Structure 1
């Protein structure tokens, strides 16, 4: 049987599969070693991966946090999606928390039954300055196939020092059939701005077949530290041998407006990107981009959080759709509150990729892990998720779900609902790492058209449906 190249289809049966990480799981007595559970579509089985298995290179290591980042892409061109797993706290030699990335190839027999798995750790093909303590290589991942049918994988290392500039950050970009590696930093030719200490370029990544975006949530804008920025690249290599820089942007450097850059806004903490078409059905594809700003103050409300919504046009220009989406916007359900961290996670979907984009086909979801119960401090950090049309005037048809209102169970303290999100055209996947009861995490799949408080279409829970029991923070990362 040959693979059929469906997105996130690891066994080639034409159905999407779901990868769910528990980077805090204990493996072989090693705390925080991490596991990734893959649920095959069509009830075709479940497999749990960790580094004490033959099909995953290396060995389980305490505090490596295998699964802290996930991506999928057909990197070897066989039509099956391959699973990419980040372990950013993996030690490499004596370099503590240098980080590593693993590629487990898909095959008709399932993950790990085909081509040999690969490991990258800034030695060999991904060598740059070599592994250093605190690089966090593999902290963020994105991958896919370009519009010219070339596979690519971007790996964030936000703790990488650029020369003597600490924690400036870098992105390793692997592309083509050989997955040749180039390293991109803000010191690379043509890249927006300059590397600065603490920029953490590469802390978030998102992509389509025409663009990829890089978050630098520590970027200083003027004197405003950790204000944040986002840089967009084309996946094609330019004459300097790096992905072609398209532009970089941040909030306004001019003080006094709602969109002014402020210290600790952390613009670019989370990113989501999908291909979209504006204008007519013959208009070339561009992209929609959602940018999480969880540290944004709304008026005097500290760390309420916000999301910026943008469009990247086919001519590589940037259009602001909504500069700040937040819970104090007119028509939006709920109210902004201190410490909500609205935008800590974002997910974006285009349910009709070939059609002209509209608010009914392009939607985004926002994680609000610090949200309290409406009664005040009754349930601290219960969390929740808000779903919006990806258009101007987002409050026209937004929906809200949270524990006890759509998310099963009763609300409790520190459930942090919305701390992990993922989206497919069929479903919004919501992780709750501390659900009510004794379950070590759960993932709920909702229809994108769900009404506020509506029930999930499917639930993934350890110990049920073939998913191994146990774990620590199941659902921390979803793809």
Structure 2
């Protein structure tokens, strides 16, 4: 395999058009005839750098294009290598519009590049899926010498510098090389702007791409010396890239604040002293690939608010590409923020990612009651609202970003701490309470919004203080769809409590069902699985002794349509779950779930639930804590594993009141375990590779666990509860 290929200039010019001096709306095409309909609507036009360059591409997945890496290279005549991650120049793609004078198809931003190192090809991720346009396929058989291929693109023609229609041409291939294939145009040429255009054969009505245009002579292209008549070109083979494309488009998203294609994390220390203010709170962003770290707090000019004692900036965190520019943005909850004279009203800030990292680009945005628009504007700040106690964020199946904000201290009328949730999407926001948008009886102390979770299909809201019949603080959970009704509010899918006929057991005082919630996509068809924790649930053991605060987790199937159903009841009294029930385990106090391959049918390895049991005793060590991992496919036991100090690669030994499991986070690569209460006095966080619990190497060895700790590996000393939140 070649790495960092050099560009050959003896044959041909690059066919990524530089349009300096050309019309601002630059779409150029092959010298062949114009497309007459949208049969080949998978062909895409790329505007790179707001008119600096133009290229062509093909849609091979509703969220992905394939094109030439040289389109994005700084100096493609020297090297076609481009970095993974957000493109350096802003790039817009038009898909499904072979006639640019129409409004057919869609316009999307390219937010991520995934290049190959061995050839001139790159996959480009779109800011949102494109529907209604049939994708092309990658051919699985190599081109044959003499085979006729069709190319469609937006490059220059023989008489138009900026045509308004895609054009096509027929090309004859030679025998392919290892990564390239030479082609010659049949009364057509690959002109400037056709870089990355697909060359394909047709099987029935399906286009099968065998290569993408890389470089070419320019015979017959407008503006080229008439003495230049050669139409020879070189295309990059794609017929052997199906596995690479498949693994790329199906991979789970990773947090990438600086857009370099390497996973980053944010670690909260809401009790950190900042500027002399105790428990003002801070968040440490750690950039992957050894690119350092940065502290975020309210003393910084780009962070909304001011650092004040007890604010607890970073009490909750979520991540989402909220402005769809290819850089992950950080949503920060500050539930004890004082607003004027109103104590603990709370606020939420969105700190935007950029090439320089968080806060180095677009100005931050904040959500505060009494300001902005929608339900937030109509709300009043009140003492103890705790807006931002919980946050969740993501994108819908249509690719639209959203934020869910818990406001559990909100008073509704005279009902103190009834609770509220703010759903932010599409430039506005709505309020969700038990009197508006959610069923149930509105009561003081319900604490609706104590926990929130969301996936691309649904939203989950926990209210551990909800009274069920006469059982005080038994708890409840609601599931709502991202589909909105006429009032703009998400439609309710379920109101779940333990007195429901569909749920095992019964509601009991103090169960606190809904203290934690997690939602995860159950495959690509719109189904979800909900997990709800009841950490104060008593569990009767084999000796018929009621073990207080042992904890239980309930899981539920939430299909794309139709009713919900209970799936599993999980606690440590089950013979196939590691450990045993003990008073105060609080199994289920925290929950996280992840689909490690969301675009494929789930397997036990890809659909994972992680459960915190911070009160777990290890041997004789009380409240040392544990983190359980298990599959959400079938019963948990066959694939149940556990993390605790000294096991599965986790460093150290169990310690009293270290409470492992009180803070957990997940990514496509790691389980993140926060240790804010020890063994390090300032706190710490562990990154445990998934392999340590889903598979081991042939010798059964664990992969190394990364330790993030103040005063270690470039993270400055200081802090009080580092690792209290990780995203």
Question: What TM-score bracket applies, with the shorter chain setting the length?
Answer: over 0.9
CA contact (8 A) 2:498 2:504 kept: no
Deviation at 1:44, TM superposition (A): 2.1
Deviation at 1:467, TM superposition (A): 1.5
Aligned match of 1:36 = 283
Aligned match of 2:724 = 476
The secondary structure found in structure 1 opposite 2:539 is coil
Whose radius of gyration is greater, 1 or 2?
A: 2
How far, CA to CA, are the matches of 1:69 and 1:228 in structure 2? 21
Aligned match of 2:692 = 450
The secondary structure found in structure 2 opposite 1:234 is strand
CA contact (8 A) 2:684 2:708 kept: yes
Aligned match of 1:161 = 411
TM (normalized to structure 2)? 0.62
Deviation at 1:166, TM superposition (A): 1.3
How far, CA to CA, are the matches of 1:134 and 1:356 in structure 2? 44
* Structure 1 moving runs of 4+ over 3 Å: 451-456
1:251-290 matched pairs, under 5 angstroms: 251-252=498-499, 259-277=505-523, 284-290=525-531
Aligned match of 2:534 = 293
The secondary structure found in structure 1 opposite 2:637 is helix
How far, CA to CA, are the matches of 2:600 and 2:637 in structure 1? 23
Aligned match of 1:395 = 637
Residue 306 (str. 1) matches residue 549 (str. 2): no
Residue 318 (str. 1) matches residue 561 (str. 2): no
Cα RMSD between the aligned structures?
1.9
Aligned match of 2:395 = 145
Aligned pairs, number: 465
Deviation at 1:92, TM superposition (A): 1.1
Deviation at 1:77, TM superposition (A): 2.5
How far, CA to CA, are the matches of 1:30 and 1:23 in structure 2? 12
Residue 244 (str. 1) matches residue 487 (str. 2): no
CA contact (8 A) 2:691 2:703 kept: no
Deviation at 1:351, TM superposition (A): 1.5
CA contact (8 A) 2:352 2:363 kept: yes
The secondary structure found in structure 2 opposite 1:348 is strand
Aligned match of 1:384 = 626
Deviations 1:47-106 (A, max 9, x none): 110000111112101000000000111222222121110010111112111111111111
CA contact (8 A) 2:254 2:668 kept: no
How far, CA to CA, are the matches of 2:487 and 2:564 in structure 1? 24
Residue 136 (str. 1) matches residue 381 (str. 2): no
1:130-209 matched pairs, under 5 angstroms: 130-176=380-426, 178=427, 180-189=428-437, 191-209=438-456
Q: 1:354 aligns with which of 599, 602, 606?
A: 599
Deviations 1:403-462 (A, max 9, x none): 2334211222110101001111211111111222x4411111112232499565322111
How far, CA to CA, are the matches of 1:172 and 1:363 in structure 2? 28
Deviations 1:154-213 (A, max 9, x none): 11100101111111110111111x2x1211111114x22132111111111111111111
Higher relative contact order (CA 8 A, sep 6+): 1
Deviations 1:241-294 (A, max 9, x none): 21222221111257xx962111111111111111122xxxxx723112211110
Aligned match of 2:269 = 22
Residue 441 (str. 1) matches residue 683 (str. 2): yes
CA contact (8 A) 1:333 1:399 kept: yes
The secondary structure found in structure 1 opposite 2:499 is coil
Aligned match of 1:280 = none
Aligned match of 2:581 = 336
CA contact (8 A) 1:409 1:435 kept: no
How far, CA to CA, are the matches of 2:446 and 2:596 in structure 1? 34
TM (normalized to structure 1)? 0.93
Deviation at 1:397, TM superposition (A): 2.3
How far, CA to CA, are the matches of 1:76 and 1:353 in structure 2? 22
Residue 431 (str. 1) matches residue 679 (str. 2): no
How far, CA to CA, are the matches of 1:448 and 1:309 in structure 2? 22
Alpha carbons of structure 1 residues 231 and 451: separation in structure 2 relative to 1, 3 Å: closer
Aligned match of 1:369 = 614
Aligned match of 2:53 = none
Deviation at 1:317, TM superposition (A): 2.4
How far, CA to CA, are the matches of 1:54 and 1:240 in structure 2? 37
Alpha carbons of structure 1 residues 456 and 193: separation in structure 2 relative to 1, 3 Å: farther
**Which range moved further: 389-398 or 151-160?**
389-398
Structure 1 spans left out of the alignment, 5+ residues: 278-282
CA contact (8 A) 2:457 2:482 kept: yes
